[in-house]
Structure formats: C-alpha cells, structure tokens
Chain A
Amino acid sequence: MMSRRATTRLGLRYAAVIAVLLVFLFPIYWLFIISFKTPDEIFAFPPVWWPANIQFANYAVLFKDGDVIVVWNSLVIAGCSTVLAMFFGTICAYSLVRFRTGGDDLAIWIISQRMMPPIVIVFPVFLLYVWLGAVDTYWGLILLYTAFNLPYVIWMMRGYIADIPIELEESALVDGCSRWQVLTGVVFPMARAGLFATAVFTFVFAWNDFIFALVLTRTEVLTYPVQVTHYFGGQSNFWAKIAAMSVLGTVPVFVAVAMLQRYLVRGISMGAVKG
C-alpha cells in the first residue's frame, strides 16, 4: 500500500507532467488543427479551438496543384544522402577504430568539419556548384547532405563499433573471411542498433534542413521546408497551405521516431558524450 504522502506526491508529479506536456504539445496541436479547418474557421475571431467538421480540402489543394511533389523530393534527397552517409561513414569509422587510421588528428579534423555555421559552408559550396552545374539538382543536394552528415555518422559509429568485442572479428578472420566479409558479416549486424539510431538522426537532419535547400534549389528540386516559406505572405489562404504542408512534412518524422523510439535516447546521449 502506498502511504498517503506518496500518493499525493505521485498526484502532484502527474499534474506537473500533464501541464508540461500541454504547453509543449499545444503548438503541434494548433498546427494540425489549422490544417483541417475551413477558411472561415482559420480567419475566425476569436480563434476556433476545435473545427466544426474535420475536412481535407487544404491537403487536396496541395495535391491538385502538384505542390506535394516537394515531399517526394525531400524523401529522395534525405533518403539517398542517409544511405550514402551511413555506408561511407560506417566503414570510415571502422578504420578509425580498429586501425587507428590517421590517429586523433584525422578524427578531430573530421568533427571540426561540422562546427561551422551552414551559411558559411553553403556560400563557397554555392560558388562551386554554379561552376559544376549542380545547383537545383538532386545529386547536388544529396552530395551536400552526405558531406554534412558524414562527421556525425563517423563519430556516432565510432562509439558503437568500439563496443563490439574484437574476438568476434578475429575468429571470423581465422575462419578465412576477408576484411570486407568481416565488415559486412560481423560489424554491420553487431552495430545494428547503433546504425538505426544514427540513420534516424541523419535522415532527420537532411529532412529538416532549410538553409542548404534554400540556397541550392530553384524550381526543380524544392524540398518541403523551402516550399513552406513560399506560402508566407501574398496568397489569401496561405495559412491553410502552411499548416497542411508542414503537417505533410512532419508526420513522416514522427512516425520514424515512434518506430525507433527505443534507440533514440541512447542515440542522443551518445552523441552528447562522444561529441
């Protein structure tokens, strides 16, 4: 039996937790609910807290106008760059851990590539891309996000790979496996949890990026955050579009996070510990 004091304490903690959640989730609620409102309700005064009937017209407009293509663009670009960054980053991290390739200097140089403000990186990259003809192309953004995420992947995977018992790899080598087979047959499966956690964050970084996409796209490969800003000002119904497009871009991330939630706390705190 819980004592009365303990019960009161639990009640108070629940109240505090609920209050905190209300404050932090209300903006997300508001974004979602606006996307289901009619124009009358969006521009009602005082504000409508719950629409009379949920309707999907705001989404239908995005599909009818073809604006929804930007979600596909985001998916292709974030997806491809995540796969590339995970693959190249993981094999690089393996070499750094097992062979100490380049020592601490190389590892620190790699992480230092991630410390600069994106605007400072993107400006010279823009000049390079104009010269290469890579502005407003899929591969241009994929290459940039891959490069931008590599330091993160390498540093995260370093920690996960260091946790793998080296005896497993040694016995595989004794059994006649090549180094490459050790990598694909032992290291990748053993680091599975770490790979998932790191991949989610890598994907979310690329998916949520605004500034690189703003500078390096024009019309062909717009990503969804850039498209959201195109609805600011001007059009009379821009709020409905802002909300609907934002929801379309946010739901996939929420779903990914929900599915992989058990890896995430470790993923985030590892990132903090290992830098």
Chain B
Amino acid sequence: MTAAAVASRRAQARGPFLERNFKYLIVAPAILVLLLVGLFPLIYSAVVSFQGIGMIDQDTSFQGLLNYKALFRDARLWESLAHTLIFTAVALPIELALGLLLAHLFLEKLPGRALFIALLTLPTMISPIVSGATWRLLFDHHFGPINQIIAWFAGHQVPIIWIVNPNTVYPAILICEIWQWTPFMFLILLAALSNVDKSLLEAAELDGAPYRTVFRRIVLPAIWPVMSVALMIRGLELMRLFDIIWALTRGGPGTMTETVSIYTYVQGFEQFEISYTAAIAFLVIILLTAVVMWLLKRMEIAR
C-alpha cells in the first residue's frame, strides 16, 4: 500500500470519528476553560482554607476548621456583610421603582424616542470604576458642582464633605450606584412592558378601571417573569458591590462602607491572610448559593 493510500484511509477513518463525536468536541473547549478557571482553583482554595497560610506563617499543615471558627468571631466580616445587605436592600427597590417610572415615560411613541433611549443607557455602559471616579469629581466638597447646586437652592454655601462624612457617605454611594444601574432596569422593563397585550389594556381602560388596578391585575403579572429575573441579576450584582465603593471611599471612612467584597480583598491582597481569605470566600459562596436557591424556588422561574 502506498503512503498516500494509507493517509487517505486514515482521513476516512478520522471523518466518521469527528462526525460521530461532533457534539462533544464542540462542547469540550468551553467546558475545559470553565473547569480550569472555575472548578480547579476552587478545589485548590478549599484545600488552602484548611491550612494556615498567612503573611508571616506559611503553615501548610491541616488546621481543621480553625479558619472557619475564626469567621464567627470576626466582627468586621459580619459588619461588611451587613453593609452589603443594606446597600442591596436600599438600592434595589429604588432602581426598580425608578426603572418602572422611566419605562412608562418612554413607553408611548414620542418623536426622537430611540435617540433618547440610547442616551439614557449611557451610564450603564461606563466602567463602574469610572462612574465612581466621576461621582468623586461631582461630590468634591469644594470644586464639585453638587454642593454648588445645593447652594443655589439653599441660598448659601454648603460645606458637605460627601465621602468623608459618615452621614452622607451612604447616600453618596447609593446615588452613584442608582445612577449607573437604573437605566439597566429601565431597558429591561421597557422591553417587558412593550410586550404586554395592548388589547387587554384597552379593554380595561374602557371599563374605566384606574391604572393602579390595571397595573396590579394585568401589567404586573405579564411583566413578572422578566422583572423577577432583572431583580435577581441586579440583586446578585449588588451583593458583589466593589468597584464603585473602591473608587469613592475604599470602604472608608474607617470601615463604614466596607462591603464583603472589599473586606475579602483587604484580607487577601493587603493583609495576605491567604487561608483565612479562602475561608471567607467559601462562606460567601455558601451564603450566596443558599440565597439564590431560595430565590429561584420562591420566584418559580420555570424552565
């Protein structure tokens, strides 16, 4: 048999193999990347969380649940979790309410509507670190425009030191967060509202039902599937809140605005408490998984 014939027979044999396993071969690269970057490091850090690796001590012996026990006595960790929950609990309803209002405002036809919608989405497209930086410029107590605008209304200069004063730092962060992500809510809700059956709305209007009732009985049930997923996406993102606060306050003043993401970063990359940080990471994973499972069940997002 000539070499060419062997090669051709090999090619024939390879053909059916590729065809037969095609569905696995095209899934493989994605799964391999996810395993390498997702699963493998997770297992490795699970091991690390049972050791005693820190900046000073490179102890790789098995420490049992030592790090996990320490978590429960770490007041700063629980405070950072509380801060995270507060930011989520305040920002999420406001973003939803504002998003709904804006979606109603843009629902009907209006000359220039497409351009207005495009302009309104710009804040969402900006890097969160840049929007944090932008609001830092806006909030500056001396050279920023916000105190100046307040001064016009108040009739005298106001010396609010937004991101340093404990009373104003929360509103400052929330304003930035809400400014950036309300347009995201708005876009999703606008798409959902546009798909609500118009004939039902018109029939209800003819019956003289007030919009309150129409919204509760017809609109809300219709947009609920999309709205619930939007709430979950934003809720999860708020639980990870990092960039905006990093740019505005770095968790300060003191540790007043430290979220669990920022605290984890500080422990891992500034204090180099490697094993302890791995334990925090697993606590967060367990808490978030529990919350997500609960939400998925509650909202009955059927697939």
Binding site secondary structure of chain A? helix
Residues on A facing B (Cβ under 8 Å): 10, 13-14, 16-17, 20-21, 24-25, 27-28, 30-31, 34, 42-47, 49, 88-89, 91-92, 94-96, 98-99, 101-102, 104, 106, 110, 113, 115-121, 123-128, 143-144, 146-148, 150-151, 154, 178-180, 183, 204, 207-211, 215, 224-226, 228-229, 232, 239, 242-243, 246, 249-250, 253-254, 257-258, 261, 264-266, 268-269, 271-273, 275
Report the 10 A-B pairs with minimum CB-CB distance, sorted nearest first.
A124-B41, A269-B191, A124-B45, A147-B37, A208-B127, A117-B240, A92-B30, A99-B23, A91-B26, A225-B129
Q: Contact check, A179 vs B134: say whether CB atoms are below 8 A apart.
A: no
Report how far A30 CA is from B274 CA in the complex, Å. Answer: 41
Neighbour of A265 across the interface among B34, B190, B233, CB < 8 A: B190
- A30-B134, A46-B148 known, 17 other contacts, Cβ within 8 Å: A10-B110, A20-B105, A24-B119, A24-B122, A25-B119, A27-B179, A34-B137, A47-B148, A91-B26, A123-B264, A125-B37, A126-B269, A225-B130, A232-B136, A246-B130, A261-B114, A272-B226
Neighbour of B130 across the interface among A91, A228, A264, CB < 8 A: A228
Q: Contact check, A250 vs B120: say whether CB atoms are below 8 A apart.
A: no
Residues on B facing A (Cβ under 8 Å): 18-19, 22-24, 26-27, 29-31, 33-34, 36-38, 40-42, 44-45, 48, 102, 105-106, 108, 110, 114, 116-123, 125-131, 133-138, 142-145, 148, 179, 182-184, 187-188, 190-192, 225-226, 229-230, 233, 236, 239-240, 242-243, 246-247, 260-261, 264-265, 268-269, 274, 277-278, 281, 284-285, 288-289, 292, 301, 303
Report how far A163 CA is from B53 CA in the complex, Å. Answer: 51
Report how far A55 CA is from B233 CA in the complex, Å. Answer: 41
Binding site secondary structure of chain B? helix
If A120-B284, A123-B268 touch, does A210 touch B129 (CB 8 Å cutoff)? yes
Nearest residue (CB) in A for B241 is: A117
Q: Note all chain B residues with C-beta closer than 8 A to A13.
A: 105, 108, 110
Report how far A94 CA is from B29 CA in the complex, Å. Answer: 13
Q: Note all chain B residues with C-beta closer than 8 A to A204.
A: 125
Q: Contact check, A254 vs B122: say whether CB atoms are below 8 A apart.
A: yes
8 of the cross-chain contacts (CB-CB < 8 Å) are A31-B130, A43-B143, A118-B261, A148-B37, A183-B26, A211-B261, A232-B136, A268-B184
Report how far A225 CA is from B243 CA in the complex, Å. Answer: 10
